[in-house]
Chain A
Amino acid sequence: MSGCLDIRDLSAVLPNGQRVLRSVSLAVQPGEVCALVGESGAGKTMIGKAVLGVLPSSVRIVEGDMRLEGEDLGKLPPKARRTLIGARTALIPQDPLTALNPSRRVGSQMTDRLVRILGWSGERADTRIRQLLDEVQIRDPDRVLKSYPHELSGGMRQRVLIAAAFAAEPRLIVADEPTTALDVTVQKQILRLIVQLQREHGTAILFVTHDLGVVAKISQKVSVLYAGKVVEEAETAALFAAPQHPYTRALMAATPRYTDPFASLKPVDEAVLAGLASEIAAADQAWRRPHG
Chain B
Amino acid sequence: MDEGRAQRRGVSPRLWLAGGWLLLALLAAIFAPLVGPQDPLAQDLMLERLPPFWMNGAEPGYWLGTDSLGRDLLSRLIFGGRIAFIVAFSAAIAACLVGSTLGLIAGYFGGWADRIISRVVDVWMAFPPVLFAILLVAVLGTGLSSVILAIAIIDWTRFCRVIRAETMGQSHMDYVENARIAGYGRIGIMLREVLPNVVPSIVALLSLEMGIAVIVEAILSFVNLSISTDDPTWGGIIAEGRLSIHQAWWVLVFPLITLILTVLSFSQFGEALKTRFDPVLR
Contact = CB atoms under 8 A, between A and B. Distances in A.
Interface of A: 52-54, 82-83, 85-87, 89-91, 93-95, 98-104, 112-113, 116-117, 148, 150
Contacts of B174: 93-95, 98-99
Contacts of B128: none
Interface residues of B, number: 18
B192 to A, nearest CB: 8
B175 interface: yes
Interface of B: 173-175, 177-178, 180-184, 188, 192-193, 196-197, 199, 279-280
B193 A54 contact: no
B183 A150 contact: no
A85 B184 CA distance: 11
A102 B280 contact: yes
B173 A103 contact: no
12 contacts: A82-B183, A90-B181, A91-B181, A93-B174, A94-B174, A99-B178, A101-B196, A101-B197, A102-B175, A102-B197, A103-B279, A150-B280
A86 B280 CA distance: 29
B177 A54 contact: yes
A113 B182 contact: yes
A90 B188 CA distance: 19
Contact of A98 (B173, B180, B181, B196): B173
A117 B279 contact: no
Contact of A86 (B182, B193, B279): B182
B66 to A, nearest CB: 52
Contact of B183 (A85, A101, A102, A103): A85
Given A54-B177, A117-B184, A150-B279, 10 more contacts: A82-B183, A86-B182, A86-B183, A90-B182, A93-B174, A93-B178, A98-B174, A112-B192, A148-B279, A150-B280
A100 B181 CA distance: 13
Nearest to B193: A101
By CB atoms of chain A within 10 A, which of B193, B199, B279 has the most? B279
A292 B183 CA distance: 36
B60 to A, nearest CB: 54
A103 B181 contact: no
Contacts of B188: 116
Contacts of B184: 116-117
Contact of B175 (A85, A89, A101, A148): A101
Question: 3 closest pairs, A vs B, by CB?
Answer: A86-B183, A103-B196, A99-B174
A86 B180 CA distance: 8
A43 to B, nearest CB: 17
Contacts of A83: 183
